[in-house]
Structure 1
């Protein structure tokens, strides 16, 4: 079968690898024929500067190492199941929840699987990934999809779970005012998640006018701001009650300046949620953080139990995640039409889906 395999920085190859042997499935394994797979910002960082998360020596829990089949935002159809799998059957359309961790360590016993020190991720630290014709995952990684969730939407549940969880971490609720920094795929999904949670006034800040224009198509009443031409903090204060700033700010870039903007733009006793991953150790304005009595919170992945709820949000139309999809490509074109397009400074693409049919 074909698979997109990461070998090193800017070295992703389409290779022929053996198909999974259904006769050798473990008792709780599920064999999936992959359908759509999204290219995540994490995949893009690995391609441009990796290996970062992809292990060069065997992963301590999963045993995976280079070369790695990529892809953790995907869905497909169950082909075969292990003898102890009961919640899905061959023919079921499924979405993959890609986090892999012990069920019996400190966090696993508490259902906080995403916090395990031994965490692995399908498509990054697992022998299989979504950028291939087939994959093998654990039974707990597989969630059956209702008929009203399309195959494309099934591949969008993973990034949508990230932003739904971040909105929950921020305490976004009906009537909230919200700032999102960064108009990439996660930032644009984040404005949709904020609206789904009940936010009424939503600001989006980014330095790329192309992406801000796309955001206005995704959510027409979003208030877009460009820090190159706008005083973001003053513009937000001018449009919030009492000139105090937003209730919640969600930083979706992973940039020091964006975090600083969130701290300045949020009201006193507001909440700043760090969603984007910083590659370094940014300075944080501790004085303002204290003086304004702000909560600064991290948001790592999501609860692995969120899949049915996020699927329902997408399938119902309350959170139309498919609006961020700007291109669909074939696996053979994943480098030229996928990774390289997403790295273009023009920023004319958001979410690119690989069609594996």
Structure 2
């Protein structure tokens, strides 16, 4: 067992039992089982241990992963103790969040009490496996996630995290925007994986929060032609309000590939197609719409095997690339992009709610097939 593992497991055990902390209680939204989320009074984390930080949470976003856990879970929430963190069972949700540092443990040098921070929620060994030793922490086989496989989560009044999980934010970044850095990082990485650059033409399939942020990230990277496809006209309307120049397509009425070929230079298709919904028809549309030697990026998580036309992959000479989470060193870059206005992430927020009503006004609202909400933030103080 590595020193990092021992520290993580000790923190999880102390915070779960509240042994010797005298810390009092806090409100938290916890996953018990599919369709069973409860806002409960639980033990507040005690004083942080070495290289740990106690954060008073401000805002947390409801992610598609949280919705999947609520609907069908446990999926990423471990049924048996996580091999690195030891977390399992009842779990405080929330991995898109920010707040204010309340206390720091011994050896913490990157933040101090009173600092406003955004949480980078990936938890993993800092060394000792092939990927962590190379700084590719998001690919570690022992990866865990705050809010899914760690003692704390963002859907609570306080969270206990490691020092590498907190990034200070400037005064020009609002508390709400601090909670949007995580999904924005997913989208920036997807655009990086696709090689989006100045003048690119880009298709995004799926007009959910990640799809919307990917459109914004593509524009920030210099893309000059933007297309988005979705079956929900309400969400396509959100995309036009957010980016008036975007071309919206509904596969129920439009042939996505034909429409994009007709609009792009030489009628060859788009340079990059980014799949943000985890749907086999959307991935096939990406392959159809992208030009020869273009790039297809898979960002959405597919729930089952997806047959693809591999003759077309070969004949069109395309690249198909996965995009898993983000490198952890993206946080300062994405914070700068949002704070400068280059990536106006707050445009995707459609509703703000309180923790006490998060299940009905948040989770259930986002699962409504009408699609009247895009990104919902929970205010925690």
1:96 aligns with 2:122: no
Aligned counterpart, 2:30: 5
- Corresponding position of 1:196: 220
CA distances 1:246-270 after superposition (whole Å, capped 9, x unpaired)? 0000000101100000001000000
Provide the rounded CA distance (Å) in 1 between the counterparts of 2:196 and 2:319: 13
Query: Structure 2 CA distance, aligned partners of 1:343 and 1:13?
Result: 17
Residue 100 of structure 2 corresponds to residue 65 of structure 1? no
Residue in structure 2 matching 1:186, options 187, 194, 210: 210
Determine if the alignment matches structure 1 residue 107 to structure 2 residue 131. Answer: yes
Q: What are the within-5 Å matches in structure 2 for residues 275-290 of structure 1?
A: 275-290=299-314
Match of 1:265 among 271, 277, 289: 289
Matched, 1:132 2:148: no
The Cα of 1:61 is off from its aligned counterpart by: 0.3
Aligned residues: 355
Which 5+ residue runs of structure 2 have no aligned equivalent?
1-25
From 44, 47, 66, the counterpart of 1:19: 44
Q: C-alpha deviations, 1:97-136, integer Å up to 9, x for none?
A: 0000111111111100000000000000000000000000
Shift of 1:83: 1.1
The CA distance in 2 between the partners of 1:348 and 1:314, in whole Å, is 25
Corresponding position: 1:170 with 2:194 = yes
| Aligned counterparts of 2:58 and 2:246: Cα–Cα separation in 1 | 32
Counterpart residue number, 2:21: none
Match of 1:151 in 2: 175
RMSD: 0.5
- State the partner residue of 1:213: 237
> 1:272-301, CA deviations, whole angstroms, 9 ceiling, x for partnerless residues?
000000000110110000000000000000
What corresponds to 1:317 in structure 2?
A: 341
SS in 2 for 1:211: helix
Q: Secondary structure at the match of 1:180?
A: strand
Q: Give TM-score scaled by structure 2 length.
A: 0.93
Give a deviation string over 1:71-106, Cα, whole Å, max 9, x none: 000000000000100110000000000000111111
- Matches of 2:277 and 2:167, distance apart in 1: 29
The corresponding residue for 1:42 is 65
Is the counterpart of residue 117 in structure 1 residue 146 in structure 2? no
SS at match of 1:257: helix
Q: Matched residues in 2 for 1:12 and 1:179: separation? A: 36
Distance 1:270 1:334 in 2: 41
Aligned to 2:56: 33
- SS of the residue corresponding to residue 230 of structure 1 reads coil
Which runs of 5 or more structure 1 residues have no equivalent in the other structure?
none
* Deviation sequence 1:128-167 (CA, Å, 0-9, x none): 0000000000000000001100100000000000000000
- For residues 98 and 12 of structure 1, the distance between their equivalents in structure 2, rounded to whole angstroms, comes to 21
2:356 to 319, 325, 332: 332
Q: Which runs of 4+ in 1 moved over 6 A?
A: none
Aligned pair partner of 2:318 in 294, 297, 318: 294
| 1:180, distance to aligned residue in structure 2 (A) | 0.3
